[in-house]
Amino acid sequence: MEQLLENFSLDLFVKQTVLFLILIFLMVKFAWKPILNSLNDREEGIKNALDSAEKAKREMENLNADNDRLLKEARAEREALMKEARELKEKMISDAKEEAQAQAGKMIEQAQAAIESEKKSAMAELKNEVAGLSLEIAEKVVRGELSNKDKQLKLVEDMLGEAKLN
C-alpha cells in the first residue's frame, strides 16, 4: 500500500478523472438512452408477452368451459334420445301385445262360435236321429199293440179314460 502512495501522481489522477468523466458524459450522451430504450423495449416486450400468455390462458379456460358445457349438453341430449328410444320401444311392445291379444281374442271368439255352431248342429242331428229312432220304436210298439183286436180296444178305452180325467 505504501508503494502505491509513493508512486501516486496528481497529474495522472486528474487526467484519469477527466477521461473518466468524459467517458461517462459520452456514455450518457450516446449510449445511455439507447440502453435505456432497449431495456424499456425489452421490459415492454416481456410485459406484452405476459399479457398475451394471460389472455391465452383465459381463452383456454373459456374454451375448456365451452367444451365442458358442450359435453354436458351432448350427454343430456344422448340421455334424452335414449329415454325416447326406450319409451318408443316399450310403446311398440305394448302395442304389439295389445294387437296380439286382440287377435287372440278374435280367434278365441271365432273358435267358440265355431264350436257352438258345431255343437248346435250336432245336437240338431242327434235330435233328428233320436226322433227318427223314437218313431221307429213307437211304430213297432204300436204295430205290436194294434196287431191284436182285443189289445186295440183296451188301448182305446185306456186313452179315453185318461182323456176324461184330464
pLDDT above 80 (res 165): no
Please report the pLDDT score of residue 6 as a whole number: 74
What mean pLDDT comes out for the span 65-82?
Answer: 95
What mean pLDDT comes out for the span 140-161?
Answer: 74
Please report the pLDDT score of residue 145 as a whole number: 65
DSSP string covering the chain: -HHHHHT--HHHHHHHHHHHHHHHHHIIIIIIHHHHHHHHHHHHHHHHHHHHHHHHHHHHHHHHHHHHHHHHHHHHHHHHHHHHHHHHHHHHHHHHHHHHHHHHHHHHHHHHHHHHHHHHHHHHHHHHHHHHHHHHHHHHHHHHHHTSHHHHHHHHHHHHHHHHH-
pLDDT above 60 (res 166): no
**pTM as predicted:** 0.40
Tell me the domain boundaries of the chain. Answer: 9-165
Average per-residue pLDDT in the chain? 88
pLDDT above 70 (res 38): yes
